[in-house]
Structure 1
Amino acid sequence: MGEVLAWQCGLWQQLAGRAQHAHAYLLHGPRGIGKRMLAEQFAASLLCQNPTAAGACGRCKACLLLAAHTHPDYYVLEPEEVDKAIRVDQVRDLVGFVTQTAQLGGRKIVLLEPVEAMNLNAANALLKSLEEPSGETILLLVSHQPSRLLPTIKSRCVQQACPLPSHQQSLEWLASQLPELAAELREELLALAGGSPLLAAKLHGQSVLELRAQVVEGVKKLHKTQQSPSQLAESWNALPLGLLFDWFCEWAHLILRYQMTGDEAALGAADMNKVLHYLGQKASRENVMALQDWLLAQRHKVLGKANLNRVLLLEALLVQWASLPGAR
């Protein structure tokens, strides 16, 4: 049913070796380190009729149904659309599943990812299932940002931090997935993914290196007054907001770090090195800190699936960014 990732072996042995299981687990850690894969393998092992220390057998009726995506006692809850919230109606459907009897006579497993995508009403609707699960129901909750979860949800789960891969493990895994990609491009992808190899592979599928080049070129044109904030905002309308705010938050942080340390070697990726060096010399620290506060607040709204006017938000960002190199 799939192999356990190299950096997850210790945790897998701990989970699979339990004689008794909790009714809910919260697997948490940065995005892109394999939490979903671990949860799916754990679910397969819990549903398997002949599990081994290595996991599900892959041959029994339960495993075959799971492989065919037709297992009646397995329920996956996730946003209906990418970057959208999990709605309360979806959780109510889940509660209906939890109250049913297992059709194969064993366990029922729920996999919910990401938990923080639930809005407040959805999260409150889930609480009763966490408090009083029906029969042998086990909920596997996957979270990229556990700090955004209700304390009442976290307190009802066995919280398990998922291990991070080493840099070498990440590169080896990426090489196995993207052998056609040059080693330096895999390094670049991994850096853009914050060291998370599965996220790096996903970003490659989204042509993130090309998107990054487009954004960096736009920022440089903005500083050369070759494009206005409104023009650039319009041209970026189709770009992922999450990526954009991740990058600008990182750039603001790098400028501040350079202003405080004077370490030119710590200005991040080469594509923005000169721009950040220039802004670090020309912008006041107070203005950079104010922009960073604004960026973090807007990023929180983006992650919270707030209903935002994309073009106006990007234009506001670019106006503030363009105004950074002012009087010190």
Structure 2
Amino acid sequence: MSNTLFPWQGDVWQQLQQMRARLPHAILFHGAEGIGKTVFAEQFAQSLLCETPLPDGHACGTCGSCGWFVQYNHPDYRRVRPEILDGDEAGDGEEGEAGDGKKTAKSAKAPSKEIKIDQIRALAGFMNISTHRQGQRVVLLYPAEALNTAAANALLKTLEEPPPNTVFLLSSNSLDRLLPTILSRCRKFAMPLPSREQALAWLRQQDVKDADVWLAEQGGAPLTAYVQSQSEGRELIDEFLQHLTRPGIDGALKCAEHLQKTPVAELVAWQQRWLYDLFSLKLSGTIRYYPRYEKALAGLAAKVETGALLRALKSSNERRAIADHPLSARLFIEEMLLDYASMFA
């Protein structure tokens, strides 16, 4: 695991080393989903625990501490993330931050989407015992927006009175979903998107076909683009986008019936990007996510009012907040597509 950062993370790693002289008790790594924040934070955790770190700040990878770390049994290290129900172990990395970018094994059990208060309380015993060889102890928590209300408040109390020799590393895809009080207790560290050239080079090294298409559709996030490219969902995405090119009542009902078993949150995200491209095309003539559909988007942009697009984007944001728990997937999708069709009626 030593020194296995993604190619686009070298510069930000050097920036991070400037903090080591006066290390804050909590660092919040934030940026777009799918750019490797958790991998980066985990590398930093290993380097903090390493007995003989290298001059560039990376862990040596050979000492006893590094040996424990790569086996996930270091006595001074804890990971906190949404648990797999019934105690099954998840693959290494949150959704969109899939470890080294490779597909991870999926548990047969459904994963929890929350970090719960019991997980935060369990840290108390860990933080009240002496550290191994009087060194640091490190807690990595991701994604931070998965903290439910009770867990967030419990974590806040710990951050307000941090135990000695303890560093909290948090990773977040969405700062606006975190309590302002937690944000105020952390040193924020921004993780930028890689350049398009860096991301495409990495995807092509992973033998991803149509890498430019996948990268554009995922907003420039290479790990999410990789995961999507390895899924069996290309046909579903194209079917959904084809429907968006021909909005109508009959099509909306048929599409909802056919795609009702597709994760609703994914459909909302695909439509959000489509709406953003329509809005961007109308205002500035540019397309970010779906350049393959430029002709269809241009035709639709000419027919829709800017105000209607703004209202649709607002509705789409509201839908995304509840998309993980729809009462009826089919009715949810029908309503979403019928609202979309009404803009062009």
Question: In which range does the TM-score fall when normalised by the shorter chain?
Answer: 0.7 to 0.9
Q: Which amino acid aligns with 1:128?
A: K
Scaled by the length of structure 2, what TM-score is found? 0.82
Q: Which amino acid aligns with 1:161?
A: A
Say if 2:224 is the partner of 1:203.
no
Q: Which amino acid aligns with 1:314?
A: I
Q: Which amino acid aligns with 1:272?
A: Y
Q: Aligned equivalents of 1:5 and 1:267: distance in 2?
A: 24
Question: 3-state DSSP class of the match of 1:110?
Answer: strand
Query: Which residue of structure 1 lines up, in the alignment, with residue 113 of structure 2?
Result: 84
Displacement of 1:306 in angstroms is 5.4
Q: Aligned equivalents of 1:238 and 1:135: distance in 2?
A: 49
Deviates more, 1:81-90 or 1:194-203: 81-90
Query: Which residue of structure 1 lines up, in the alignment, with residue 89 of structure 2?
Result: none
Query: Which residue of structure 1 lines up, in the alignment, with residue 168 of structure 2?
Result: 139
Q: Aligned equivalents of 1:27 and 1:258: distance in 2?
A: 32
Q: Which amino acid aligns with 1:215?
A: F
Pairs within 5 Å for 1:86-235: 86-176=115-205, 178-179=206-207, 181-182=208-209, 185-219=210-244, 223=248, 227-235=250-258
Q: Aligned equivalents of 1:12 and 1:141: distance in 2?
A: 16
Question: 3-state DSSP class of the match of 1:282?
Answer: coil
Question: 3-state DSSP class of the match of 1:19?
Answer: helix
Deviations 1:249-295 (A, max 9, x none): 2222332344445x4x6485254334433332333443333222211
Displacement of 1:201 in angstroms is 1.4
Query: Which residue of structure 1 lines up, in the alignment, with residue 307 of structure 2?
Result: 286
Shift in alpha-carbon separation, 1:173–1:231, aligned structure 2, 3 A:
same
Question: 3-state DSSP class of the match of 2:21?
Answer: coil
Scaled by the length of structure 1, what TM-score is found? 0.86
Query: Which residue of structure 2 lines up, in the alignment, with residue 310 of structure 1?
Result: 329
Question: 3-state DSSP class of the match of 1:160?
Answer: strand
Q: Aligned equivalents of 1:290 and 1:319: distance in 2?
A: 14
Q: Which amino acid aligns with 1:25?
A: I
Deviations 1:31-62 (A, max 9, x none): 11221111011000011111112411111111
Q: Aligned equivalents of 1:267 and 1:138: distance in 2?
A: 38
Question: What is the aligned length?
Answer: 316
Q: Do the aligned partners of 2:144 and 2:178 also contact (CA within 8 Å) in 1?
A: yes
Question: What's the C-alpha RMSD, in Å, of the aligned pairs?
Answer: 2.4
Q: Do the aligned partners of 1:95 and 1:126 also contact (CA within 8 Å) in 2?
A: no
Q: Aligned equivalents of 1:215 and 1:155: distance in 2?
A: 41
Shift in alpha-carbon separation, 1:198–1:267, aligned structure 2, 3 A:
closer
Displacement of 1:207 in angstroms is 3.6
Query: Which residue of structure 2 lines up, in the alignment, with residue 241 of structure 1?
Result: 264
Q: Which amino acid aligns with 1:189?
A: W
Shift in alpha-carbon separation, 1:105–1:68, aligned structure 2, 3 A:
same
Query: Which residue of structure 2 lines up, in the alignment, with residue 320 of structure 1?
Result: 339
Q: Which amino acid aligns with 1:23?
A: H
Say if 2:34 is the partner of 1:11.
no
Pairs within 5 Å for 1:44-83: 44-54=46-56, 55-81=58-84, 82=111
Displacement of 1:296 in angstroms is 1.6
Q: Do the aligned partners of 2:203 and 2:226 also contact (CA within 8 Å) in 1?
A: yes
Displacement of 1:105 in angstroms is 3.5
Deviations 1:228-249 (A, max 9, x none): 4344223223323333222212
Deviations 1:272-327 (A, max 9, x none): 3344333323334433332222112112334xx5565432221110111222221x
Q: Which amino acid aligns with 2:53?
A: P
Q: Among all aligned residue pairs of Structure 1 and Structure 2, give the percentage whose two residues are the same amino acid.
A: 36
Question: 3-state DSSP class of the match of 1:14?
Answer: helix
Q: Aligned equivalents of 1:77 and 1:26: distance in 2?
A: 14
Deviations 1:200-224 (A, max 9, x none): 112223344333123224445764x
Q: Aligned equivalents of 2:126 and 2:257: distance in 1?
A: 44
Please list every run of 5 or more consecutive structure 1 residues that lacks an aligned counterpart in the other structure: none
Q: Aligned equivalents of 1:139 and 1:324: distance in 2?
A: 47
Q: Aligned equivalents of 1:204 and 1:252: distance in 2?
A: 22
